[in-house]
Chain A
Amino acid sequence: MAGVVLRKVVKQFGAVKAVDDLSIEIQDKEFAVLVGSSGCGKTTALRMIAGLEAVTSGEIYIGDTLVNDMAPKDRDIAMVFQNYALYPHMNIRENMGFGLRIRKIPKAEIDARVEEAADILGLGDLLDRKPKELSGGQRQRVAVGRAIVRKPKLFLFDEPLSNLDAKLRVAMRAEISKLHRRLGATIIYVTHDQVEAMTMANRIFIMSKGILEQSGAPMDVYSKPANLFVAGFIGSPAMNFIDATLVAADGGLVIDTGSFRVRAPDSFASRLGAHAGRKVVFGVRPEDIAARAAASVDEGNTFAAQADVVETLGSEIFVHLTCGAHAIVSRMEAPESPLRVGDTIEVQLKMAKTHVFDPETSLTLV
């Protein structure tokens, strides 16, 4: 049993509140990802769970134990640091066995566990080298290996992939996910990369400026962001935010951006009704904007826009559109006849997937 609970945890560095009233609950065996932009307090939160940083106030439980005053060594955790923190004077075998040697595990068993971890991670040939004789990706594996030989109940990862190149990152992402299933342990993983968060997590915790903005399964957070911050943070390219006015017209609600007008689906009415006549922020994900199919019926969800930039990714294209005063990014299937810069196209929004936010509170209305 190694769930982790943070209850109203605060960490203050002088005048800076690095973590502010953070309450999260992580289930046993869960892969939890703390994600947020640089400086939002992710590392600080992780270090408090590890016991490397004392909490200013609040409570941290690992399993059922209150660990506020417990030394890191007694928490039965393993941590992979962003810079790996391999011990330069020890070879890989000694690095990976260090934690076991401290715990006075018999030498034969240490050797067996190190070999096993090295097998899993493909480090077999490197065991007698020093860390400085390894590449970045190999060092990263050693750091993971050093964590898994200990067989702790809880793993903490602090941006372990940020020093790797894009291709290796994708590969390691999959490996760490596999490892999680294989080890059956709880993992708390910190990253500023929302793609890592989305692809690896059972549950993601989105932080900004020391506070928790939203938590949930990746798809829930993606499709039901709680506020403007989360909506803008999750998804790539980022969601388009368009200032608009909500007007009652034609027996329904119309979102009027000044450059184009679209009809809000009837399902929005109950939650938007009270806001008729007010300013709102209209949010559309790039993937919910498509070129209008020739045969489709206009349901009040189309408008014309000019292509400013066309980025081809192969099967998909990113099109930067201009419509009146607004710049909009869309992500659509590559059309048969190539789209040229300057072309005007009809686009169609998947209205049911769009969002409307209150600009004053930043909260999501739908």
Chain B
Amino acid sequence: MNRKIVSSALFYLAVAAIVLVVLFPFLWMLASSFKTQVDIISWPPKIFFSPTLQNYRKVFGEQDFLKYFLNSTIVGASAVGLSLVLGLPAAYSIARFRQRKLAVFILLARLMPGISFLMPWYIVFSRLDLMDSYTALILSHILIALPIVVWIMSTYFSTIPPEMEESAMVDGATRQYAFWAIILPLSGPGIITATTLSFIFSWNNFMFSQVLSMEKTKTLPIAVYNFLSYAEVDWGGVMAAAVAIMAPAIVLTMIFQKYVVKGLTMGAVKG
């Protein structure tokens, strides 16, 4: 009995330690975003302070933050949307016709450092006069989203018994219709997982927009980076900007975490 208490105490201690390590930078950032410059650099750090919204006001006021926010949303949503359109049928085909090699190939594209694509893209998009266009940025972000969609969904589809669509096909459906009317409606959790994850990855991406965008299509992370460079010492502003960037990702994850965990572990068990 005592041993049980001790061991569960140790367990929660370990959990607390891990959570602290993971969350500390985030909490630090969150707290700092509500502090004045003086409070941020004071030593020892102030745990109790009178919060201020001044940093946020500055971020949203001085910078055209809303524009970058919209850019990130447009690019992320379009890239994810197109990736779903392309990736769902691809994943289905990989799952049902055992095209494992194709799946690995797509994953490899994802594992290659993104920077190695940038040079050719830069040349191609410049020639096509597509620099600083949504088209170029969305296409580049498909490289981020598509492999995630294909990978997650192919594992997900392979957990659905093939008799589902076979039964529909005998009943008079084409394979395409069976996919649409039977398989997709059963794939909600998988699609939510794939959408959430690929959107977050797209949202967080820095490199592609840094190279392919100028003023018009700049995404959020670039905006923060710029903020950092010309307001070097304004830690409060940087922190507030960082919080604003992370907020959508965190909110998305919290809303869909049930599905995300389910979708991911489903792949893990069957994979």
Contacts and interface: CB of A to CB of B under 8 A. Distances in A.
A178 to B, nearest CB: 23
B164 A102 contact: no
A256 to B, nearest CB: 54
A1 B170 CA distance: 19
A71 B174 contact: yes
A78 B170 contact: yes
A323 B182 CA distance: 61
Nearest to A82: B163
Contact of A85 (B166, B172, B173, B185): B166
A85 B171 contact: no
Contact of B170 (A77, A83, A88): A77
Interface residues of B, number: 16
A87 B166 contact: no
B169 interface: yes
Contacts of B163: 81, 83, 85
Size category of the binding interface on chain A: 20 to 34
A72 interface: yes
B164 A50 contact: no
Interface in B143-181: 161, 163-164, 166-174, 177
Contact of B169 (A52, A88, A156): A52
Contacts of A150: 171-172
Nearest to A73: B172
Given A87-B182, A88-B186, A102-B177, A81 B172 contact: no
Nearest to A158: B163
A176 to B, nearest CB: 18
A103 interface: yes
Contacts, number: 55
B166 A81 contact: yes
B269 to A, nearest CB: 19
Given A85-B161, A85-B164, A89-B186, A79 B177 contact: no
A150 B167 CA distance: 13
Contacts of A71: 169, 174
B173 A73 contact: yes
Given A85-B164, A87-B164, A99 B182 contact: no
Contacts of A83: 161, 163
Contacts of A85: 161, 163-164, 166-167
Contacts of A75: 170
A88 to B, nearest CB: 6
Given A73-B172, A103-B172, A81 B177 contact: no
B238 to A, nearest CB: 47
Interface string A59-100: 000000000000111010111010101011100000000110
A355 interface: no
A98 B174 contact: no
B167 A81 contact: yes
B52 to A, nearest CB: 51
A156 B169 CA distance: 14
Given A79-B166, A81-B163, A102-B173, 20 more contacts: A52-B169, A71-B169, A72-B169, A72-B170, A73-B169, A73-B171, A73-B173, A78-B170, A79-B167, A81-B167, A85-B161, A85-B163, A85-B166, A85-B167, A87-B168, A89-B186, A98-B168, A102-B171, A102-B172, A102-B177
| List of 9 A-B pairs having minimum Cβ-Cβ separation, nearest first | A99-B171, A85-B163, A85-B167, A102-B172, A79-B170, A72-B169, A73-B172, A81-B163, A89-B185
15 contacts: A50-B166, A51-B169, A52-B169, A73-B172, A73-B173, A78-B170, A79-B167, A79-B170, A81-B163, A85-B161, A99-B172, A102-B171, A102-B172, A102-B177, A146-B171
Interface of B: 161, 163-164, 166-174, 177, 182, 185-186
